Structure 1
């Protein structure tokens, strides 16, 4: 049975007090959702964003996506305006948890592009890239390949115990 929605959320170890910190967590969650969309052969026709403050108040917003997608970048970009709205509504309270959910799902085989530009070469390259990343993660683990903006400021987010070959 095909899912009606696909989401992923995470509670941060510390309060997220800046937009950039929230975007980092949102990006990681969008990656996981997009991977699962592709595994199920689904496209998202909308996105729902849910945030919880450090005061445990919760807020959520959703919007339709003009062109259905299974791209992490597209999901994140569609969720950013929602993040900004929710941030303002919460009087900029620190964020503790973020959940992004792909909604209004359709089977990727049933989707017919309504514009010539939806099938442009860049979009096709991006889709092939994300599918290649999925294959690498399936073979070597979910943390085998990551976006650079998800690394810590030091450029390496490995802790001492997980450093390959105990490199210095």
Structure 2
């Protein structure tokens, strides 16, 4: 089934044509692609402990009130019959890349807004194909080649297209013809407009405003007096005005990993294992993305929710044997042994393109070849297939690839000594 909005008007073929693609319940769809028994059943992905949060929920689970960022304990109360899955970051990244490659091969400019969201500029294609017809064929190609459901919205700008995609879901499409933006948006809840979060919505509710159409009738000056400079942006978006450009290159500035323990702990061995597993996984992610880090940060949150962090600048690297001692040293300077630990985290910033270079005074070809061999196996079988023995303690669970990438095969263990 398709939904086509043109409100009786013919689209202006000379205007802008911006499309927004969104993979439906993406993490759930990835899990269903490898396990069809999950189809049509409530599925919830996220931390499996009571302190965990919901990362994604299937549409079947959402009917019970479950949504992303919800406390997992609450989700279990709302939908106890759901299938709970910890998640598999490696799998989701791989399937996202499949969609990215199809889009970049078929479109001149693509912006990857997130792992499951994409924008593209189709302006001018009406002269040759017809933007809507081309978009439908491209959506069909993605579904056919990846097996993943995907929706899109097509309009003259990013805001209207994103809202249209939300209205098209699940697994459908909407075209909002040029000149029909205000008519399309008017009956929708103000919460559908990007930038309108819970607090902003509460303010609108106090003003008796819940639909976009009422904002369209408000004077711009009134919006600015209530919401400040954001009031102008919200008013423009409600009126279908958005000049945001497509940004084809999103340079990632940092990568990080955090672990919240199911129970606050003093266990030094478990904490060390957690940190080591984080560094090993993040270093692998750097090398896989041909990135080097120059800033290392460690974070600790205690049982009283006080959070502290330390960071240090280093020479650009992606080598475990350099990053692990650095992170350990930072943690020891930060850690207060008198207070229970609730969360630990590691972050690598200052990312730059590049491959790990041999240190002519310390490294040997054996070191570099070891990393290449390890990473080649991880790329083929999953993040956890090659691991240091020191990362197999209780503190390493939930770090990196959460699934079972080696299908029951035991991981290769390394007793590699760090300088």
Q: TM-score, normalised by structure 1?
A: 0.75
Per-residue deviation, 1:61 = 0.8
Q: Quote the residue 2:332 is aligned against.
A: 84
Q: Quote the residue 1:158 is aligned against.
A: none
Question: 5+ unaligned residues in a row in structure 2: which ranges?
Answer: 1-249, 395-403, 410-419
For residue 144 of structure 1, the aligned residue among 385, 388, 397 is 385
For residue 309 of structure 2, the aligned residue among 40, 49, 60 is 60
For residue 289 of structure 2, the aligned residue among 40, 51, 70 is 40
Distance in 2 (CA, whole Å) between partners of 1:134 and 1:13 is 30
Point out the structure with the larger helix share: 1
C-alpha contact (below 8 Å) 2:261/2:343 kept by paired residues: yes
Per-residue deviation, 1:96 = 2.1
Distance in 1 (CA, whole Å) between partners of 2:384 and 2:320 is 16
Distance in 1 (CA, whole Å) between partners of 2:289 and 2:251 is 7
Distance in 1 (CA, whole Å) between partners of 2:364 and 2:308 is 32
- CA displacement 1:94-134 (0-9 Å, x = unmatched): 2222111111222216x9x7xxx823573542232122212
C-alpha contact (below 8 Å) 1:33/1:72 kept by paired residues: no
Distance in 2 (CA, whole Å) between partners of 1:14 and 1:124 is 43
Q: Quote the residue 2:360 is aligned against.
A: 119
Distance in 2 (CA, whole Å) between partners of 1:123 and 1:14 is 42
Distance in 2 (CA, whole Å) between partners of 1:87 and 1:119 is 34
Per-residue deviation, 1:149 = 1.1
Per-residue deviation, 1:45 = 1.0
Question: 5+ unaligned residues in a row in structure 1: which ranges?
Answer: 154-161
Q: Which has the higher contact order (CA 8 A, sep 6+)?
A: 1
1:6 paired to 2:255: yes
Distance 1:50 1:139, change over 3 A: same
1:74 paired to 2:322: yes
Which has the greater radius of gyration? 2
Distance in 1 (CA, whole Å) between partners of 2:366 and 2:324 is 18
Distance in 2 (CA, whole Å) between partners of 1:64 and 1:131 is 25
Distance 1:85 1:121, change over 3 A: closer
For residue 298 of structure 2, the aligned residue among 32, 37, 49 is 49
Q: TM-score, normalised by structure 2?
A: 0.32
Q: Quote the residue 1:99 is aligned against.
A: 345
Point out the structure with the larger strand share: 1
